[in-house]
Amino acid sequence: MTRKHRESTAAVVPVPGILGTWLTVFRPCFTAPVWNHVLVLVAGAVLAPGKRTVTRALRVMGLADQPGFSRYHEVLNRARWDARDVARRLLLHLLAVLSPSGEVVIAIDDTIERRWGGKIKARGIYRDPVRSSQGQFVKTSGLRWLSLAVMLPVPFAAQRWALPFLTVLAPSARWAEAHGKQHKTLTDRAAKRTDATQSGQPARARQAILQTKRWLADRRVVIVADSSFAALELIAAVRRHVCLITRLRLDASLFEPAPGRPPGKRGRSAKKGKRLPKLSAVLADPATVWTRVTMAEWYGGRRCTLDYVSGIAVWYTSGLPPATIRWVLVRDPSGERDPQAFLCTDLDLQSEAILSRFVFRWRIETTFQEVREHLGVETQRQWSDLAILRTTPALLGLYSLITVWAHGLMGAETVQNLGVLTLLADKDGGPTVPRQRDPVRVSRWRSRSGPSASDERLAVTSAYAVARSSGDATATARYFP
């Protein structure tokens, strides 16, 4: 490297000082040279409109014409830093700011990042959950990610948000076959058993859940997931460590708990008792005694009246370990919603508590939507395997950091008096994600329901903070006219 090149790469980059303060918790994860480049990339990712590529981040930071740009690419495709340690520090930081004590509710779900190109080795063909419906099956090419998000109360939104902290790649079966490796499914047993699941290969969901519990050894952890994670082998692996709440099929095979072993009886102990009626039969039985409850928050953030019935049973399938669960069957008295069933591995948890925790899971779907619209997920263009493994989890983690930054700024009087976005509320006055962008930015932060939960405001607020704290009037005027 020439002396001129060393001097150019060592030049001071105008990164806002407050950004370094916000990211102090991650400083031990990086060497000094890499850390300086990380600050530039984070600031550029927050400020850049449109695509979130390294080039776009450098351009918005005024480094488009500077030599040594490859050093910034190497942060993602070459530099040595532990993404798992970054995820651990992010989780602990989120909890320290928004929920220092008490129970921790974590949502786990998978999402598809639409990507094309022969150089993306882990790419597969999957069902597109957004474009598909019950009557139409749409396939898409992309990468599948398994993401864990902690459900934390966000004061300025007056509700809980799903803040991702750990995201891992789940390569396709084609990639595993091409590399001579055994394919790892999301759970030990999916809806269809494959040779990979029959072999007892550790599942990604199990690994991620147990890793998270090791980080939170002194906290009670509740995992909420959809029906894709309702697997007996997964329950058997994690129930001693965490409480798992998922959906349950209405035709699941349920049994009474195994009776006590009679004295002097030979042979192995029974795993289950008498067969119980399927939940679909319980639903249709006019003799079923229902309990009515009004949920303060259901899907859409609205109040909802439901009827439920609950019980304890053994869920058993031949060849798999039995699981003693508490099941909750729910129906809508108005008939507008389909009946649903849920399971919980904590037998002492009340039915209302199970329902209230499970409904938090939907927030992670909103998070996936917002990071696509406002943080550029699916717009990055890395081909390096290591860069692919790091970029998408980094953008999802940036969403969580932006939420924490906005939470800290909401207490500042100067920020409260600044106009960032029009506050949008639904007809009931509750916070909502706007269906269309409002180009007007007005000077008020309060509405009849408090600040809106708009994903637009979240991204723009932190971008404003970074630009304003840097003292760069040009950058501030450019993005916030």
Per-residue pLDDT of the chain (481 residues; tens, 9 = 90+): 444 444 444 455 567 778 888 899 999 999 999 999 999 999 888 888 788 888 888 888 888 888 888 899 999 999 999 999 999 999 999 999 999 999 999 999 988 888 877 777 777 777 777 667 767 777 877 888 999 999 999 887 778 899 999 999 888 777 777 777 777 766 633 333 333 333 333 368 899 999 999 999 999 999 999 988 998 989 999 999 999 999 999 999 999 988 877 777 777 778 888 999 999 999 999 999 999 998 887 776 678 899 999 999 999 988 888 999 999 999 999 888 889 999 999 999 999 999 999 998 989 988 998 888 888 888 888 778 898 889 999 999 999 998 888 888 765 443 433 333 322 223 233 333 332 222 222 222 222 233 333 334 444 445 444 444 444 444 444 434 4
DSSP H helical ranges for 158-227:
173-178, 195-198, 204-215
474 residue type, one letter: T
Query: Which of 156, 186, 153, 182 shows the shortest CA–CA distance to 169?
Result: 186
Cα 64 from chain centre? 33
Compute, in degrees rounded to 10, the torsion defined by CA atoms 73, 76, 77, 80: 120
> Tell me, what DSSP letter sits at residue 264?
T
- Residue found by looking up tokens 């009004």 in the block: 294
pLDDT in the model for residue 411 = 57
Give the number of other CB atoms < 10 A from CB of residue 22: 22
CA dist., res. 300 & res. 333, Å (int):
18
* Residue 98: φ, ψ to 5°: -110, -20
* Residue 324: φ, ψ to 5°: -85, 120
Domain(s) labelled CATH 3.90.350 in the chain stretch across 84-260+269-367
The total number of residues shown for the chain amounts to 481
Apex 405 CA angle, 389 and 437, nearest 5: 80
CA dist., res. 275 & res. 374, Å (int):
51
Q: Is 415 exposed, middle or buried (0-12, 13-18, 19+ CB in 10 A)?
A: middle
pTM of this structure: 0.81
- Residue found by looking up tokens 């965490």 in the block: 242
> Tell me, what DSSP letter sits at residue 362?
G
Cα 157 from chain centre? 18
* Structure tokens that stand for 5 in this block: 């090149």
Query: Which of 198, 192, 185, 204 shows the shortest CA–CA distance to 108?
Result: 204
pLDDT in the model for residue 3 = 46
Query: Which of 232, 190, 179, 184 shows the shortest CA–CA distance to 208?
Result: 184
Query: Which of 175, 224, 184, 220 shows the shortest CA–CA distance to 202?
Result: 184
In CATH, the number for domain 84-260+269-367 is 3.90.350
Give the number of other CB atoms < 10 A from CB of residue 119: 10
Give the strand pairing for 243-247 and 124-127.
unpaired
The three-class DSSP label of residue 237 is helix
- Residue found by looking up tokens 């319980």 in the block: 282
* Structure tokens that stand for 353 in this block: 């508590």
Cα 149 from chain centre? 4
Query: Measured between alpha carbons, how far is residue 377 from residues 251, 367, 382, 398 in Å?
Result: 38, 11, 12, 11
